[in-house]
Amino acid sequence: MARTEKTRYLIIGNSAGGIGAAEAIREVDKAGAITIISDEPYPAYSRPMISEYLVESCPIERMLYRPPDFYEKNSIGTLLDEKVVQVDFNEHTVKLESGRTLTWQKLLLATGGLPILPEIEGIGLKGVFTFNKLDDAKAIDEFLNQYTRKVRAMVIGGGLIGVSVTEALVKRGVEVNIVEMKERILNTILDEEASALEEKALTQAGVEIICGHTASTIDSYFPEKVNGVSLDDGRSLPCDMVVIAIGVQPRLELVSGSKIKTNRGILVGRNMETSMPDVYACGDVAEAYDFVCGENRLTPVWPNAYTGGRTAGLNMAGISTEYPGGTAINAMKYFGVNIVSAGEVALLDNSCEIVSERHGDIYKKVVLKKGQIAGLVFAGDIEKSGIVYNLMKDRVNVDSFKEALVADDFGLASLPEEIWRERLAIPPLELTSFVISVEEPEEAIVGE
């Protein structure tokens, strides 16, 4: 019979959230055994950098989120290329696909998201890809390497991932079409003006964008090979490959059928604990506190996953801590256009007030609700967007100086004196006083 291995802290998911939690645990508990499991075979890497891999075969060493000796130095056991297939939340055990069984005292679900696949004919053909992990970028790279002629690609979905893979493909010399169901690209994170600026840059780079339509079939005239995509209006567009980028959904398979409460993602409290004691969740799989709307919701971006992971880790190690909250924030530079957006930018109601400035391709907009910043979009000149974001994060009432936020010469000096003095006096996070001192680290579980 297979042996059951023991760990104090078990983290499923070796990415932003999982690493944030492991680091926080080690800061306060120097010895408790930490084990991280991932079904990907790599040490934690920057997921947003998979496009760099596609463009220039960026070596994994340059994409690593932490130095190669990170796990060993922190006595963190890893089980890479191992998938958790079942969790018994009452018995505190997990089963891996390989047959191993582990017991845990505290569990973190940092399982991220999975690409949504449309149920259309041809989805299983060779030449149809998603773009969510390093192996996806590797598979596309391998596919492109077979061709000596120009390749044509259809990207289905014009969101962040769709635009990210489009830029990488264009840099690889691929001719790209994007089909986007809504009326404009990047419609969930940008407003109309910023979307139009990005669309102009894409079009100038030779990308054809078809909005207001969906793909109804992926066509194949030769067995198993992509030859084109048919749209809902009957148009047929030839291509050699397809990238599906219509969205990502929280990876909930481990909690389905359990008592853990979910909505679109796993629901967590401000301490990142789920409805089940000793079980925590963070990152793209969790619905955590959003400081703009004051409710829990999905905010699937890297910094929120890391901060949520840190909060979970501290609580798992016995240090009662509240997640400060996150919101949707995106900083991008696709096709040379710098854009930062955060909070509510596109879905606005009558209670919102807008201040904005536009000079050529420089565009700045701040959305206000009851004197506080509810959202921002800065395009072209993003230098001061950080100050505005921090005012938003700290829920400062900006009513008396709102026009200054989008002015050319905006800076800390534009703020009332009591506010900028406060801004400069924020002390660094003090954690060292919480450290639990234990002599010898417990033995960590490692892959075989």
Give me the residues that bind ligand FAD (CB under 6 A), please: 12-18, 37-40, 47-48, 50, 83-84, 110-113, 131-132, 161, 164, 251, 254, 283-284, 300-303, 305
**CA distance readout (Å), 318 to 32, 64, 95, 105, 146:** 12, 29, 26, 12, 53
Shortest Cβ 369–ligand FAD spacing (Å) = 24
Shortest Cβ 349–ligand FAD spacing (Å) = 26
Nearer to ligand FAD, 15 or 321 (CB): 15
Shortest Cβ 96–ligand FAD spacing (Å) = 8
Nearer to ligand FAD, 153 or 368 (CB): 153
Nearer to ligand FAD, 336 or 360 (CB): 336
Shortest Cβ 165–ligand FAD spacing (Å) = 7
Nearer to ligand FAD, 202 or 254 (CB): 254
Cα–Cα distance measured from residue 299 to residue 30, given in angstroms and rounded to the nearest whole number: 31
Nearer to ligand FAD, 25 or 396 (CB): 25
Q: Let me know how long the chain is.
A: 448
Cα–Cα distance measured from residue 201 to residue 225, given in angstroms and rounded to the nearest whole number: 31
The rounded Cα 88 to chain-centroid distance in angstroms is: 27
Exposed / middle / buried, residue 373 (Cβ in 10 Å: 0-12, 13-18, 19+): buried
**DSSP string of 276-295, one letter each residue:** STTEEE-GGGEEEEETTTTE
Nearer to ligand FAD, 27 or 82 (CB): 82
Provide the pairing of β-strand 362-369 with 352-359.
antiparallel
Shortest Cβ 137–ligand FAD spacing (Å) = 8
Provide the pairing of β-strand 228-231 with 215-219.
antiparallel
Contact assessment for residue 285 and residue 111, using Cβ atoms and an 8 Å cutoff: yes
From the CA atom positions of the chain, what is the Rg in Å? 23
Shortest Cβ 84–ligand FAD spacing (Å) = 4
Cα–Cα distance measured from residue 162 to residue 129, given in angstroms and rounded to the nearest whole number: 12
Cα–Cα distance measured from residue 445 to residue 448, given in angstroms and rounded to the nearest whole number: 9
Nearer to ligand FAD, 301 or 388 (CB): 301
Cα–Cα distance measured from residue 4 to residue 12, given in angstroms and rounded to the nearest whole number: 17
Shortest Cβ 187–ligand FAD spacing (Å) = 17
